[in-house]
Amino acid sequence: MLNVVGRSQRGRTCEYSRGDFFLKTPFVVGSEDDGSGIFISTSGGGRILNLFGSDIPIDSRLLTSASSRKDTVPFCKDGVCVVRLPFTGDGIPDEAEIVVVPNAFELRKNPRKLVDSIIGLREGIGYSRLLCMLGIAEPSTLSLLAYMGADIFDDSLARAAGLRRIHLIPEGEACADGDVSAENIEDLKAECRKAALFTAFGRLRELVDQRSASSPSSVAALRIFDDAGYRYQEECCSTVGTRFACNTTQALRRPDLKIYREKISERYRKPDHKRILLLLPCSAKKPYHTSKSHKAFASAIHTAYHDTLVHEVIVTSPLGIVPRELDVFYPANSYDIPVTGEWKCQEKEIIRSMLSGILSQGYDKVICHLGEDAELVRGMAEMEETAVGDPTSPASLRNLDDALRRAAEGMEPVGYSAERIELMRSVLTFQFGLDTADAIMGDGSYAIGKFPYWKIMRDGPDGRGDKIQLGMLTPERGMVSLTMEGAEIVSGLGRHTVEMTDFEMKGNLFAVGVLNADSSIRPGDEAVVTLGGETAAVGVAMMSGREMMDLKRGIAVKIRHKKK
């Protein structure tokens, strides 16, 4: 029985049990029985996987290679399927719980084949099975392999390298004076524990970024994985997350950052009444609006009614741009990046590309308050620069106030109530899409409160002054949380829905009770639970829509409200 207990994008930690035996992944299989009930022994016929009392032959008589272009037939015994590469993913029986790849070593120095093989294997076997790859893991690559989707490894490569006097460490390889196989195995197991820890924290990608620099093949594999494997990764990326560091150039290609930029480009629409674009620098403290610098900017922006015309957009790496109303969303609320005043060409390209997209939505005036970083955006539009040295200096803030007043001359500002409605519509469009945003903000819906605590309200149908709350934006949640009334609007569009089997739900919805799920649901999303076409509950998705369909254990939706 498999239970996924931790997730970090495609990486995961699992608990697997069979009878009285139990193991946690990621896991390193040794050549001796250490009491875990799983080890690999050898015989005249090849290697034997000893798993919880079962002996499974790993090596077939015909040892095809990963480059043979000859599809192999899986050998299955006692819930374990052994498949040699190349493998299409077909032919795995339903009762199989572990898929073992005995010739994964052949992928070690072939980054593209490694990426293609792991993606193909995981797509073929689904989420409900453990993937065991033998002969490939070493301390410097285990975290990358786990991040790609492998669950179980062995110590054969570490042992063989040690016998050849090669010391394998997380940072790469080093020459040794004698047999260091024991040290290699211990380092491999320590790295496995570290990968499990980073996964539990939701920060496995940071460990991968550090380790991938250990060899050219690892760097190449991660680059290819971020490119060719983006959609494969995106399916498991959470829409909420913890604080993370973006310290390397490769980290700019993290899938969660790419998802954000994709949503801005494809979904986000600026509020129609925003006619003055104000470009602001980012801050170390997140969300930006809580920082001292942005509170100082606010003192110069919100000096009169013209502030409703001003669209505050933060210019930053690695996200490119962050509209003020989205600064509580992940990953804008969570990233750290080294600040040196020097910008990599990749960062400049991201910023200019993202800014170009929002400029195309149309502004009457553009004001740049970036200070020394104004060179990032010069030439993209006619703009007035207002910062004199430090953007938070008294002189800079006076310039900003004066420039905004001049820019707003002759423009008719909208009221604060109308502004909140349009800002909330932009937030909902980013989170759900335009059609869902229009449905929620239609029929007289409005927003109340002070940013970032906005409630979406609608007058009741009886005309006696009753108010119905549809949802609320909070920085703690990092997005809009729906009420049952808001959930009914979303489910009416067939979006973000999870259909449950017919039973009485007393707490959270577990995967075993899921009949169907919207494949677009990602961990952290709002999820609407339906029963027989009726809205039954609403809460937070704890796994992707496809995982909900594949897995039989674990919380699928953490319920916030349910129908009484």
225 lies in the same domain as 270: no
Domain-embedded: residue 244: no
Q: CB of 170 within 8 A of CB of 139? A: yes
Q: Which amino acid is at 311?
A: H
Q: Which of 496, 503, 480, 551 is nearest to 240 (CA)?
A: 480
Burial of 177 (0-12, 13-18, 19+ CB in 10 A): exposed
Using one digit for the tens of pLDDT, what is the confidence trace for 241-277?
A: 999 999 999 999 999 999 999 999 999 999 999 999 9
CATH code for position 341: 3.40.50.10630
Output the CA angle 145-151-154, nearest 5 degrees. Answer: 80
Dist. CA 118–CA 150, nearest whole Å: 7
Confidence class for position 44, pLDDT limits 50, 70, 90:
confident
Beta-carbon-side half-sphere exposure of residue 486 (alpha carbons within 13 Å): 31
- Tell which of 176, 208, 234 closes a domain: 234
Domain-embedded: residue 240: no
261 lies in the same domain as 176: no
Q: CB of 51 within 8 A of CB of 234? A: no
Q: What pLDDT score was predicted for residue 121?
A: 93
Dist. CA 236–CA 561, nearest whole Å: 25
Q: Which of 552, 559, 561 is nearest to 127 (CA)?
A: 552
Q: Is 292 helix (H, G, I), strand (E, B) or coil?
A: helix
381 lies in the same domain as 501: no
Q: Is the pLDDT of residue 406 over 70?
A: yes
Domain that holds residue 462: 416-562
Q: Which of 438, 290, 310 is nearest to 365 (CA)?
A: 310
267 lies in the same domain as 200: no
446 lies in the same domain as 370: no
310 lies in the same domain as 379: yes
Q: CB of 528 within 8 A of CB of 535? A: yes
* CA 429 and chain centroid, separation: 19
Say how many residues make up the chain: 564
Give the strand order in the sheet containing 21-25. Answer: 2-8, 11-18, 21-25
Dist. CA 388–CA 359, nearest whole Å: 24
Domain-embedded: residue 499: yes
Dist. CA 422–CA 124, nearest whole Å: 44
Q: What pLDDT score was predicted for residue 446?
A: 96
Domain-embedded: residue 246: no
Dist. CA 72–CA 88, nearest whole Å: 9
Tokens of 277: 């674009």
- Tell which of 386, 407, 428 closes a domain: 407
Domain-embedded: residue 243: no
Dist. CA 333–CA 475, nearest whole Å: 9
268 lies in the same domain as 224: no
Residue indicated by tokens 């920082």: 291
Q: CB of 564 within 8 A of CB of 535? A: no
Torsion angle (degrees, nearest 10) of CA 356, 359, 361, 365: -170
Q: What pLDDT score was predicted for residue 115?
A: 97
Name which residue leads in pLDDT, 53 or 146. Answer: 146
Dist. CA 33–CA 265, nearest whole Å: 54
Confidence class for position 508, pLDDT limits 50, 70, 90:
very high
Tokens of 111: 């980054």
Q: Is 441 helix (H, G, I), strand (E, B) or coil?
A: helix
Q: What pLDDT score was predicted for residue 69?
A: 62
331 lies in the same domain as 378: yes
Dist. CA 61–CA 57, nearest whole Å: 10
Dist. CA 540–CA 482, nearest whole Å: 10
Q: CB of 350 within 8 A of CB of 333? A: no
Rg (CA), the chain: 27
400 lies in the same domain as 425: no
Domain-embedded: residue 110: yes
Domain-embedded: residue 241: no
Q: What pLDDT score was predicted for residue 211?
A: 96
Q: CB of 469 within 8 A of CB of 456? A: yes
Instruction: Please provide the DSSP assignment of 132-184 as one string.
Output: EE-S---TTTHHHHHHHT--EEESHHHHHHHHTTEEEETTEEEE-SS--HHHH
Q: Which residues have C-beta within 8 Å of that of residue 479, sequence separation ≥ 6?
A: 239, 240, 328, 329, 330, 431, 473, 526
Dist. CA 292–CA 298, nearest whole Å: 10
Q: Is the pLDDT of residue 9 over 90?
A: yes
Confidence class for position 45, pLDDT limits 50, 70, 90:
confident
425 lies in the same domain as 531: yes
Using one digit for the tens of pLDDT, what is the confidence trace for 334-351?
A: 999 998 888 999 999 999
Q: CB of 441 within 8 A of CB of 466? A: no
45 lies in the same domain as 146: yes
Dist. CA 281–CA 288, nearest whole Å: 10
* CA 248 and chain centroid, separation: 17
Q: Which residues have C-beta within 8 Å of that of residue 353, sequence separation ≥ 6?
A: 320
Using one digit for the tens of pLDDT, what is the confidence trace for 358-381?
A: 999 999 999 999 999 999 999 999
For the chain, percent of residues with pLDDT exceeding 70 = 97
Q: Is the pLDDT of residue 47 over 80?
A: yes
Q: CB of 523 within 8 A of CB of 238? A: yes
Q: Which residues have C-beta within 8 Å of that of residue 506, sequence separation ≥ 6?
A: none
Dist. CA 562–CA 484, nearest whole Å: 7
- Tell which of 201, 234, 267 closes a domain: 234
Q: Is the pLDDT of residue 463 over 90?
A: no
CATH code for position 103: 3.20.20.105
Beta-bridged to residue 561, according to DSSP, are 538
367 lies in the same domain as 476: no
Beta-bridged to residue 207, according to DSSP, are none
Q: Is 40 helix (H, G, I), strand (E, B) or coil?
A: strand
Q: How many domains does the chain have?
A: 3
Q: Which residues have C-beta within 8 Å of that of residue 145, sequence separation ≥ 6?
A: 118, 133, 136, 137, 153
Domain-embedded: residue 90: yes
Q: Is the pLDDT of residue 320 over 90?
A: yes
Residue indicated by tokens 């400029």: 359
Using one digit for the tens of pLDDT, what is the confidence trace for 52-105?
A: 989 999 987 656 666 666 667 889 999 999 999 988 767 788 899 999 999 999
